[in-house]
Amino acid sequence: MKKETPKIIIVMEGGCITSVLSTDNIDVTIIDYDTEGCDEEDFKPIPQGEGETAMAYVYRGEYLEINPERISEILNSINS
């Protein structure tokens, strides 16, 4: 039997990622180049190729919430 693909919801407030909801355990890293309003301690230089880098807000799943019921509630609301 094929396992269902995990569902993921990324929550943003004020242009910054504040949490990630998932139906299953995941390892997630999100890179956001729109850094306005984000905490500078989470900025990292991201390689752009040919020795260039760009600063970005990096979210590493610190606030990952495994909550299949909440995911279903949100997706049902969106899809209705």
Strand bridging mode 16-22 / 64-66:
parallel
pTM, full prediction: 0.74
Contact between 48 and 14 (Cβ < 8 Å): no
- State yes or no: pLDDT of 5 exceeds 80: yes
DSSP per position, 30-66:
EEES--TTS-GGGEEEEEEETTEEEEEEEE-STTEEE
pLDDT one-digit tens code per residue, 29-46: 889 898 888 888 889 999
Domain coordinates in residue numbering, the chain: 8-69
Quote the pLDDT of residue 62. 66
Cα torsion angle, 64, 18, 32, 46, sign: negative
Per-residue pLDDT, 22: 93
How much is the mean pLDDT over the chain? Answer: 88
Write out pLDDT tens, residues 43-61: 999 999 999 999 998 888 7
